[in-house]
Amino acid sequence: MSAPRRPTDPSGLERYYVLTKGRSGPGGSASSLDVATLIASRAAPVPGMQHEHEEILRRCRDPLSVAELGAHLGLPFNILAVLLTDLLEAGRIEARDPIPVHDAGRGPDLALLEEVLSGLQRL
């Protein structure tokens, strides 16, 4: 007689629960994350680290947005945000706003736009 098969979770929710150790959302330093936030590694993966944490560190050697990272890893935002919180609190990654706050209200550089327009007109 074969052992009864355990039903699988097609939604992936069981996997997400295990990945996040039961946490449902980010807290603390990651509460300000959004899909445009850039993530950059500050350290290399170490042996024994959770696979998803290793992947984040590897992929973010060059800054990636949270949206791009989620697409690469196939993880929803709230699950990824929990994993990023772990790495932020450990000092293994850095989160940056895509547009520095001091430049956000200034708008585009008009001189640069005029040079681009002039160059296009010469073509």
* Tens-place pLDDT, residues 44-84: 999 999 888 999 999 999 999 999 999 999 988 888 888 89
pLDDT in tens, 98-108: 766 555 556 66
Averaged confidence pLDDT in the chain: 79
Burial 82-107 (b: 16+ CB within 10 A, else e): bbbbbbbeeebbebeeeeeeeeeeee
- The overall pTM is greater than 0.75: no
Instruction: Lowest mean pLDDT of 13-17, 81-85, 116-120, name the range.
Output: 13-17
Q: How many CB atoms lie within 10 A of CB 37?
A: 20
